Amino acid sequence: MPLEFPELREAVVEANLALARAHLVTLTWGNASVVDRRVGVFGIKPSGVPFERLRPEDIPVLSLDDGRTVSGQLRPSSDAPTHLVLYRHFSEVGAVVHTHSRFATAWAQAERPIPCLGTTHADHFHGPVPLVRMLSDEEIRDGYETRTGAVIVEYFVSHGLNPLNFPGALVPRHGPFAWGEHGPRAVENAIALEMIAEVAAWTVMLAPEVGPIRPALLDRHFMRKHGWSAYYGQRETLQNGKS
């Protein structure tokens, strides 16, 4: 029988391999997923399988309605319910990445949002990297992974944030989640988040009194990559050779 959802599964394998290549994951601590909203499913890394051994047929495919596995033999990552909540509430998001990358995890363990201290950060996040609230003891005991997604969504809704303008968040005492419109963009945002976290940690060590970047510089850098008149990189038409 031909493999179901071959393109989706290939995209999930590629996103997970890219995380490993970028040294964002240690052992099996991390996972990437990609959604296909036309069909209403998402594929995610299977639980406990080494990244370098992942094959398309290993990828569990889950329903976007209820998180049940609709295709695949292996158990999905235990974080799958968190990914499901993010997909169901962030309609612009096409891929989700979770890692325990070192510096982003350090900020999460310190229970500190990452302040925007320079233009590297401003190129990717339109302000501090959010730190969401700690789960209550009841939330940890009952539906932990689902509630981890719920507190991320709660933060974005209560602060009126667009998840594409803030493509990641820190879960306290745990680590980062990042996302994007598709697999490569979600991985890129996870890489950027780790770089931002490392440079911010060094900056705070060198200058503990340093304040956030000025709003004009933050807006200038964020908008030139993400605003309606974004001019960073090459225009689509030029890249496609049409003009």
Note whether 35 and 5 are within 8 A (CB).
Answer: no
* Catalytic site residue from 36, 87, 144, 232: 232
79 is catalytic: no
Dihedral pair phi/psi, residue 5, rounded to 5°: 50, 50
Locus of tokens 């509630």 = 147
Is residue 217 classed exposed, middle or buried when 0-12, 13-18 and 19+ CB atoms within 10 A define those classes? middle
> Residue type for 38, please?
R
Instruction: Name the phi and psi angles at 168, rounded to 5.
Output: 175, 165
Residue of 49, 87, 59, 72 whose CA lies nearest to 179: 87
123 has catalytic annotation: yes
- Please pick, among 36, 58, 123, 219, the residue that the annotation labels catalytic: 123
The half-sphere exposure of 176 on its side-chain side, counting CA atoms within 13 A, is 33
CA 84 from chain centre, in angstroms, equals: 13
Q: Which residues are designated catalytic? A: 123, 232
